[in-house]
Chain A
């Protein structure tokens, strides 16, 4: 690897890229024809083509957000993005059949090994489409549907048509419009009534090509009384030019269902990560977003929950690490739309080396939602003088019986804590690493073991050389 490349990649261990062997690659740039071509290529029903075109027109008309990091957002060149790239002609269900170069990538990421050990199902997406997909037989027998989204649309068009865009309509924001217009890949997961999926199912998203746009679309429906844990991981090679990742994730938790959605986002620092994630929780349902943001250039992601049924509960745990040149603009939104709904939001962020982390949150209680309770805690650590931390919380309270709390603090690592650990024999860097891992502990303990270990390793790498 050249010195220049090494400089760009830095400590990012997933910054390698494999040669591009695409079977279909669209020219850069976006037009209505590109949108129609994607739909035609996938042989989609007319209603989906119509939705795509409508969304494209909305995307063109919609102005860029006028809030957040506008200077970075306005640097996105939508004409310099490849909107569709097919690397493999079909989705395989055996790793042996996946093209060697792609399999090689996922081997290096440790996905096949993890699948054998502890996963209920896996989808691996490479560029625009899934290249590998599998689900454990026992889950399939119980009626669990776990497919990549393209196959989901082909095999279960009725279910997809019923729920697609109902949680996040294309007109929600500019990037949800873009995703709806050019979406490709993602996961489709349906858990039948009363089925509890004990082992997590996982999707792994990898961008390999330069100036690539990845627009996966995920739809998860947990029917009454069911439960599932979905885990996603994301990486990309480091290039000097930017890539765009703009996903839409819709979750629907029916009465008494439970969905936990965990993300460890570790895009390289040339990726714009502009994601819309939202869930609807019906009566007594629980939705949990466990969201870790380590990589990317700019992340704007605010997992949301609409608590629509009485007794529904939302839990959002998010951590963000903003290193050099990164802005992690993350947060959570909870809308209490029904009585006796509850929510907890815990947000932790670290800024280092000139990075910027922002918490942007919304807590809303509508007038008819009596007896709602919510607690929001935001903690931020700033590790050096060049970094920055912001907190933008919003509480809109329309019901007098609501009991809501928000607290936030920004500080540096306490010298007392460092001193204590150093007096026990750790050097300063180790002591700092321990404190940072401890700071993120409420997040890591919610992750499956392998992810938690991986996250701690990533943090150690990111923290390397942070002292002195």
Chain B
């Protein structure tokens, strides 16, 4: 369906329960603004090719809206890449939208940095990972702290392919992400890590769907958030294992660390299992900073603020520990360190 034909989702849909569509829309839900382009640039020899916008009807209001607003649309083909590919997405103007499709036929490491100060940014990333291909993908959100940000991702994984996906979400004022991965071939696997550091009145809503359509597939999701000020973090996950997708192994872990009395966090890790011979588990935990840990560090000479900062840093780093690609792991941790140091200096 096209955007104008779609009803506004109600809050009974858990995807829109905490960040209703009108709150993330740039103005009024019935309007479709003409968007400026998000400019993609690349640091390597790979070519970004401008492609026409997809006209495929969308099943989801956020994707249909991004399609309707236009913006830039590019594609990149990746084969066996020796060095990590850094793509910079620069957003400017009032409302900016970008579409990017990645076609992966070998092993590649890709980092996508998004920055800029528009009032509203929309980004739709799609990716096809062909049989036996492997992609390590790092997404770093460094948008201005006044920007509203809508991000949709759709990943299709073929037989024996793998995706390692890491997100560092520290930018933007109100963010809504909807990340979906389909494991379409046997032997495919996805590892996903999301680290969120929210402060002030930042609102970050991360929704992750992983669909096991075939057997012998694996998924592993870790989402860690540290919320200070009066920030609000929402982590929702939907893990489905289709009928007959036996020997699938799926896990999701959501952890929230609340650092101030006015911070809020919601965790909704959902499971739908239609096959019997599977291993599926999820866990969610929420707690303040552990007093014993604080006491231990303070007994070693750190003041309370330093001690808390060490614990929070360790907690956020830990979200990336399920990643096996070294380059991805190091880059994400470096970016996180830079962010935390900047925070500390403020």
**What CA separation (Å) do A382 and B276 show in the bound complex?**
5
Let me know if B26 is at the binding interface, CB within 8 A: no
Let me know if B108 is at the binding interface, CB within 8 A: no
Contact with B along A352-375 (1 / 0, CB 8 A): 000000000000000100000000
Q: Who on chain A is nearest to B276 by CB?
A: A382
Contact A406/B280 with A389-B271, A389-B273 known, Cβ cut-off 8 Å: no
* Contacting residues, chain B, for A404 (C-beta < 8 A): 284-287
Contact with A along B239-279 (1 / 0, CB 8 A): 00001101000000000101111111111111111111111
Pick the interface stretch among A11-19, A42-50, A150-158, A395-403: A395-403
Q: Who on chain A is nearest to B290 by CB?
A: A403
Let me know if B283 is at the binding interface, CB within 8 A: yes
Let me know if A5 is at the binding interface, CB within 8 A: no
The answer to whether A387 and B286 touch across the interface, beta carbons within 8 angstroms, is: no
The answer to whether B284 and A388 touch across the interface, beta carbons within 8 angstroms, is: no
| Total chain B interface residues with beta-carbon distance under 8 A | 38
Would you list the 9 A-B pairs with minimal beta carbon distance, nearest first? Answer: A400-B258, A391-B271, A406-B284, A382-B276, A409-B281, A410-B280, A407-B283, A395-B267, A404-B286
**What CA separation (Å) do A404 and B286 show in the bound complex?**
5
Chain A binding surface SS class: strand
Let me know if B54 is at the binding interface, CB within 8 A: no
Let me know if B10 is at the binding interface, CB within 8 A: yes
* Contacting residues, chain A, for B283 (C-beta < 8 A): 405-408
A38 to chain B, nearest CB (A): 31
The answer to whether B268 and A400 touch across the interface, beta carbons within 8 angstroms, is: no
Contact with B along A147-171 (1 / 0, CB 8 A): 0000000000000000000000000
The answer to whether A412 and B258 touch across the interface, beta carbons within 8 angstroms, is: no
A52 to chain B, nearest CB (A): 27
Contact A397/B264 with A385-B243, A407-B283, A410-B278 known, Cβ cut-off 8 Å: yes
Contact A391/B285 with A397-B256, A400-B258, A406-B267 known, Cβ cut-off 8 Å: no
> B273 touches which one: A398, A399, A403, A410 (CB < 8 A)?
A410
The answer to whether B263 and A390 touch across the interface, beta carbons within 8 angstroms, is: no
**What CA separation (Å) do A398 and B230 show in the bound complex?**
10
Let me know if B305 is at the binding interface, CB within 8 A: no
> A402 touches which one: B266, B269, B274, B286 (CB < 8 A)?
B286
Q: Who on chain B is nearest to A382 by CB?
A: B276
The answer to whether A388 and B261 touch across the interface, beta carbons within 8 angstroms, is: no
Q: Who on chain B is nearest to A377 by CB?
A: B283
* Contacting residues, chain B, for A142 (C-beta < 8 A): none
> B288 touches which one: A66, A367, A391, A401 (CB < 8 A)?
A401
> B266 touches which one: A388, A391, A396 (CB < 8 A)?
A396
**What CA separation (Å) do A384 and B273 show in the bound complex?**
12
The answer to whether B285 and A388 touch across the interface, beta carbons within 8 angstroms, is: no
Could you name 25 residue pairs across A and B whose Cβ atoms are closer than 8 Å? Answer: A380-B273, A382-B273, A383-B276, A385-B246, A385-B276, A386-B243, A387-B274, A388-B274, A390-B270, A390-B271, A391-B269, A392-B268, A393-B268, A394-B14, A395-B284, A397-B258, A397-B264, A399-B261, A402-B288, A408-B269, A408-B281, A409-B279, A409-B281, A410-B271, A412-B276
Q: Which residues 285-321 of B have a CB within 8 angstroms of A?
A: 285-288
Contact A400/B280 with A388-B272, A388-B273, A395-B266 known, Cβ cut-off 8 Å: no
Let me know if B282 is at the binding interface, CB within 8 A: yes
Contact A384/B258 with A395-B284, A400-B263, A407-B281 known, Cβ cut-off 8 Å: no
The answer to whether B288 and A398 touch across the interface, beta carbons within 8 angstroms, is: no
* Contacting residues, chain B, for A394 (C-beta < 8 A): 14, 266-268
**What CA separation (Å) do A9 and B286 show in the bound complex?**
46
Chain B binding surface SS class: strand
The answer to whether B276 and A402 touch across the interface, beta carbons within 8 angstroms, is: no
B295 to chain A, nearest CB (A): 16
**What CA separation (Å) do A404 and B258 show in the bound complex?**
11
* Contacting residues, chain B, for A410 (C-beta < 8 A): 271, 273, 278, 280-281
Contact A405/B285 with A367-B261, A391-B271 known, Cβ cut-off 8 Å: yes
B99 to chain A, nearest CB (A): 31
Q: Which residues 70-121 of A have a CB within 8 angstroms of B?
A: none
* Contacting residues, chain A, for B55 (C-beta < 8 A): none
Let me know if B12 is at the binding interface, CB within 8 A: yes
A363 to chain B, nearest CB (A): 9
Q: Who on chain A is nearest to B244 by CB?
A: A385
* Contacting residues, chain B, for A21 (C-beta < 8 A): none
Q: Who on chain B is nearest to A413 by CB?
A: B276
**What CA separation (Å) do A400 and B290 show in the bound complex?**
11
The answer to whether B258 and A402 touch across the interface, beta carbons within 8 angstroms, is: yes
* Contacting residues, chain B, for A401 (C-beta < 8 A): 258, 288
> A367 touches which one: B246, B262, B268, B286 (CB < 8 A)?
B262
**What CA separation (Å) do A387 and B267 show in the bound complex?**
26
* Contacting residues, chain B, for A383 (C-beta < 8 A): 276
Q: Who on chain B is nearest to A376 by CB?
A: B284
* Contacting residues, chain A, for B274 (C-beta < 8 A): 387-388
* Contacting residues, chain A, for B244 (C-beta < 8 A): 385
The answer to whether A399 and B285 touch across the interface, beta carbons within 8 angstroms, is: no
Residue among B12, B244, B246, B288 facing the most chain A CB atoms (10 A cut-off): B288
* Contacting residues, chain B, for A396 (C-beta < 8 A): 264, 266
B320 to chain A, nearest CB (A): 22
A118 to chain B, nearest CB (A): 39
Let me know if A411 is at the binding interface, CB within 8 A: yes
Q: Who on chain A is nearest to B243 by CB?
A: A385
* Contacting residues, chain B, for A393 (C-beta < 8 A): 267-270, 284
The answer to whether B258 and A405 touch across the interface, beta carbons within 8 angstroms, is: no
* Contacting residues, chain B, for A390 (C-beta < 8 A): 270-273
The answer to whether B288 and A408 touch across the interface, beta carbons within 8 angstroms, is: no
Contact A395/B286 with A66-B10, A410-B280, A411-B278 known, Cβ cut-off 8 Å: yes
The answer to whether B275 and A385 touch across the interface, beta carbons within 8 angstroms, is: yes
* Contacting residues, chain A, for B281 (C-beta < 8 A): 407-410
The answer to whether B280 and A403 touch across the interface, beta carbons within 8 angstroms, is: no
The answer to whether B273 and A400 touch across the interface, beta carbons within 8 angstroms, is: no
* Contacting residues, chain A, for B243 (C-beta < 8 A): 385-386
**What CA separation (Å) do A203 and B262 show in the bound complex?**
45
B250 to chain A, nearest CB (A): 9
**What CA separation (Å) do A406 and B272 show in the bound complex?**
17
The answer to whether B288 and A411 touch across the interface, beta carbons within 8 angstroms, is: no
Q: Who on chain B is nearest to A356 by CB?
A: B274
* Contacting residues, chain A, for B256 (C-beta < 8 A): 397
The answer to whether B286 and A397 touch across the interface, beta carbons within 8 angstroms, is: yes
Contact with A along B12-33 (1 / 0, CB 8 A): 1010000000000000000000
**What CA separation (Å) do A411 and B267 show in the bound complex?**
22
A354 to chain B, nearest CB (A): 10
B19 to chain A, nearest CB (A): 14
**What CA separation (Å) do A387 and B258 show in the bound complex?**
38
**What CA separation (Å) do A403 and B309 show in the bound complex?**
20
